[in-house]
Amino acid sequence: MALIGAAVERVDGRLKVTGVAPYSGDVALPRLTHAVLVLSTIANGRITRIDSAGAERMPGVLWVMSHLNAPRLPDGGRAGVHPPAGRVLGLFQDDAVHYDRQPVALVVAETLDQAEAAAAAVRVGYSPATAQLDFTAAKPDAYSPGKINDAPADSARGRFAGEQTAAVTIAARVAETYGTPIEHHNPMEPHATVAQWQGDELTLYDATQFISGCRNTVAKTLGIPPEKVRVVCPYVGGGFGCKGSAWSHVPLAALAARQVGRPVKLVLTRDQMFGFVGCRPLTEQEVVVTADASGQFDSMQHHSFSHTSVIEDFTEGAAVQTRILYSCPSVETQHRLVKLNVETPTFQRAPGHCTGTFALESALDELAYRLRLEPIAMRLRNEPPADPQSKLPWSSRSLRACYVSGAKAFGWSARNPEPRSMRCAGQLVGWGYATATYPANRSAASAVARLNPDGFVVIQCGTQDLGTGTYTIMAQVAAQTLGFPLDRVRAELGDSRFPDAPVSGGSQSAASVTPAVQAAAAALREKLVNLAISDESSPVYRALAGEVVLEAGRVGLRSQSRREPIAAALARSGGKEVVAMATADPGDAKKHHSLHSFGAVFAEVSIDPDLGLVRVPRVVGRYSVGRLLNETTGRSQLLGGVVWGIGMALMEESILDGRSGRIVNANLAEYHVPTNADIGRIDVDVVPEFDPFIDPLGARGIGEIGITGVAAAVANAVYHATGIRVRRLPITLDKLLS
């Protein structure tokens, strides 16, 4: 029964590969109508005219909504829920335009073709105003956001905080600026919502990473009780952060459905995915690092500037990991925001840490070269015994083991450290290293466990499965805790009527949901054992609970071989289902321990010396992430993170037109992401570890750490191969040939 941690196949795998799994855009309801958004074509100004008369006369058109006729909403449509549960949305409450591709109208028609044709026929007039689209020009007006989530935006210790530190002789100093571009999420499944009213109750079939957050945001936006809103999302075709918020299209679909009195389906096009549903913000990061001749760090400064919109703050916490990753007596970090007339950025896989580790780990590679030190040995010299910022002990930190295991698997000892010193088949070869890290997060969650009269167990939790394997680990944990076969346990999620769970973001779903599942299953097991003990026909009648064994769905005494199905006792008691519910919360773990995951990433690049074309034939990653709950799905998440890291390093960039504010490569033909042909061998593994403080299962989330450090490892390998240091991503051939 050692199911937890086993390489169990996805319990939902067959449904997905056979096309049976229903995604939000697949929902078909009686009398379903279709909606299409009309988006702005200016980046700043006001709407002066909306001519929808022609569109309204077109076949099948039921309604055209704009600020001229949209229902007035409480507080101007501002949900006021803390992000990522709620945003400042564009809900047609006024005539202001703040960014290109802002929703300005919505057309509802009988068919999708009719809605698309009518949307194209809506004519919108504007009074444009000057838009701020130049990051460099706006940077002098940058300001502090005050906080990043619950942490201060700025930090200082050592001499930066006026404290006395030991005097050392500085042997090397790196002071450089590193940049990352705007990036867009591009999950395979675009945003999609189907809204249906039944009386005063609203059901939303929405592609979301946050079932209960979507419910609460839409309820507050529309001014109705949350219990009147149900959100359903059994499957998500990828999200990576963009589906953590209920963006404008969700309440707009609800408003349209209420107006036409029929269900409304609204699915964004790929082009619209580059419009108003978030992105990774552009960053400029100024990093200064000093050290003595032995590589002992003396000081670090990490100042990050990132863009946000003119309507809302979003901060990319790119300097946060610099506070804790290495032992250094004096550290200062700052975050500043630069307002532009663009969509509001949002969380994108490993927000902050992904962009921040590129800058920090690139700077440390530069420092190692200036000191002529082996880069891993330099980092090992600065390994902190406890969190340098909070002074708390680590809940667990096996980074040193990651260094050792990864270096051995990669063959790091054979590296010639001199740039341009390694070649193979006429190609320049480079080896690079970077450290990965991401916080270990956990929130309160609840679950319910039921034993049905048919002998099947159902586990329910209002969480989401983004493709990461939540269905499977829920079933694994419940089956092992209860003592039932896996094939007699069914996990159900994706419905706001189930017990609440947090957003599937911040790598916290596994660490939050599985303890609740474990607790609910344990409570159900206790009820079943007590049921059997009180049953005169049971083989455990009047036994002590500690003497009872529940295995493979059968109950008996430890000292005897006789077993009977627990369902038999259930049938004799009247055949009613047995139900148990439980809540698990993180308690005060963060008050006593510093909770983080870590990793060591090694990358090899092969570069054509004449064309500058970069290939990544192999990556080795070793991770300190606590206990893996499923070896197969866990490895899959780490692999996916590495693939995205390669894309971040070499390809991904959303190009903003400085005149119009439009993303000019808003399609998958010109916004490049890695394909199979771009990926070589990826070797990922976790070091043996159990984190006793994060949760009872000892598991930390792994959805995001896989991407952190990869871009820096590739960039450092590119320098090793070419002697050219690329400090602004992506690393394209023009930067290597200039």
The CA distance from 108 to 259, in Å, is 10
CB contact set of 319 (below 8 Å; sequence gap of 6+): 285, 302, 303, 304, 333, 334, 335, 352, 356
The DSSP secondary structure of 249-275, one letter per residue, reads: HHHHHHHHHHHHTS-EEEE--TTGGGT
Cβ contacts of 522 within 8 Å, gap of 6 or more: 481, 582
- DSSP assignment letter at 102: -
Query: Strands 264-267 and 33-39: what pairing?
Result: parallel
Give strand ranges (E) for 142-190: 147-148, 151-152, 155-157, 172-180
Q: What is the DSSP string of 324-386?
A: TSS--SEEEEEEEEEEESSPPP---SSTTHHHHHHHHHHHHHHHHHHHT--HHHHHHHT--SS
Residue 535 to residue 575: CA distance in whole angstroms? 13
* C-alpha span between 331 and 463 (Å, rounded): 38
Measured CA to CA, the distance from residue 562 to residue 539 in angstroms comes to 7
- Mutual orientation of helices 353-371 and 710-722 as an angle, nearest 10°? 30
CA distances (Å), origin 667, targets 31, 244, 272: 32, 22, 9
Q: φ and ψ at 724, to 5 degrees?
A: -105, 125
Alpha-carbon gap, residue 362 to 573, rounded angstroms: 66
Helix axes 470-482, 509-533, angle to 10 degrees: 30
278 and 654 Cβ atoms separated by less than 8 Å? no
What's the CA gap between 252 and 266, in Å, rounded?
Answer: 9
Is 632 exposed, middle or buried (CB count within 10 Å of its CB: 0-12, 13-18, 19+)? Answer: middle
Contacts of 480 (CB under 8 A, 6+ apart): 1, 2, 3, 4
Helix, strand, coil distribution of the chain in percent, nearest 5: 30, 25, 45
Can you tell me which residue has the tokens 């077109």?
A: 58
Report the alpha-carbon angle 129-133-136, nearest 5.
135
- Number of Cβ atoms within 10 Å of the Cβ of 415: 21
Q: Are 656 and 182 in contact (CB under 8 A)?
A: yes
- Torsions phi, psi for 37 (to 5 deg): -85, 145
| Amino acid making up residue 700 | R
CB 555 within 8 A of CB 539: yes
Angle subtended at Cα 605 by Cα 349 and Cα 723, rounded to the nearest 5 degrees: 105
Active site includes 316? no
Residues 6+ apart with CB under 8 A from 156: 331, 332, 333
Query: Please, what is the Cα angle at 667 between 665 and 672, to 5 degrees?
Result: 75
Alpha carbon 185 to chain centroid, angstroms: 10
Starting at the edge strand found earlier in the chain, the sheet holding 283-291 runs 155-157, 330-340, 297-309, 283-291, 172-180
d(CA 308, CA 304): 13
Give the residue numbers annotated as catalytic, written as ranges: 704
